[in-house]
Amino acid sequence: MKMETTNTSVFSDLEKFVWKAEVLSLSDIAYLQTETTCVTVATLEKFECGQSGWYYDGCSECTKSVTLKDGKFMCYSKHISSEPVPRFKLEVLASDGKLKYKFVFWDVDCVKLIGKSALQMKLDLMETGDFDPLEFPYELDVMLKKELAIRAVFQPNKASLSVIGFKADEVLRTKIKEMFKCEEHTSKIVVSTDDTRDDMHTASCTPTISTSEKQSHADPQTVSDHISITADYDPSVANSALTPSKRSIPETVEELDSAQLSSTKIIRDIKLEK
């Protein structure tokens, strides 16, 4: 469902959160084929082992990772840092009760959920002698078992959704879930803006598409905000190649049965609920 706006005055929290985004269930996200900013609701279940553990060495001037080059720490934008800044990057498997999907949470949102920066967590662990870059600290578990409304960017060449914002408010989550069920009628949610935005229109709800229809129609989704503008973005070349954490996840994300997807669609790392 695509949200647009009308010529009134004030945005509500929900309107701002879903603006220029597709409101989709995880099942619908699984069928996307083009870069799409989407909003969904899911419960964070467990951490997945990333290539750089639970944090990466970041630039002191931006959120990109740094590498040691000619005795200097340099990021992709060629900023020089005297010391790297630890920043969270956590891959989390989330579920909506029907399907599981992997999300990447970046530093800003992780700090909001955990209540502590990666630097402070690292210093605390070093002080107690418990620091091991290959182990996920138990303090991170405060993120888990939370149901969140998540705003994320889907990219067809990635195996996960990159999170660019979240809301924990129960009322907002409920309203978003109701938008999943919206079928062939105008949405009751009207997104508002000021009079200067005269190119916007009344919000409407796109008819729900069945699985068979999705398999026979591959209409591209509208590309919304780009990840590099709205999120902490770690360049594809990681700053280090750590081995999997000792708190490694024993289960892997299973792929959907290929029979459920069109042969022209890309199969992504998702897991059906049992």
In a domain, 12, yes or no: no
118 falls within a domain: yes
Residue 211 pLDDT? 40
Helix (H, G, I), strand (E, B) or coil at 252: coil
Six-digit token string for 26: 């995880």
Using an 8 Å Cβ cutoff, are 219 and 32 in contact? no
DSSP state of 251: S
Specify whether the CB–CB gap between 11 and 19 falls below 8 A: yes
> What percent helix, strand, coil does the chain show, rounded to 5?
20, 25, 55
pLDDT in tens, the chain (274 residues): 555 544 444 679 999 999 999 999 999 999 999 999 999 999 999 999 766 689 999 999 999 999 998 889 999 999 999 999 999 999 999 999 999 999 999 999 999 999 999 999 999 999 999 998 878 999 999 999 999 999 999 999 998 999 999 999 999 999 999 999 653 333 334 444 444 334 333 333 333 333 444 443 333 333 333 343 333 444 333 333 333 344 443 333 333 333 333 333 444 555 566 5
DSSP 263: T
Range of the domain at 104: 25-166+219-272
Q: In this structure, is residue 18 part of a structural domain? A: no
Q: Do the domain assignments include residue 50?
A: yes
pLDDT at 133: 81
Q: Is residue 8 part of a domain?
A: no
Looking at residue 272, its pLDDT comes to 63
Residue 86 is assigned to a structural domain of this protein: yes
Domain assignment of residue 117, yes or no: yes
**Number of structural domains, the chain?**
1
Q: Is residue 238 part of a domain?
A: yes
* CATH code of 232's domain: 2.40.50.140
Instruction: Name residues whose C-beta falls within 8 Å of residue 264's C-beta, 6 or more positions apart in sequence.
Output: 218
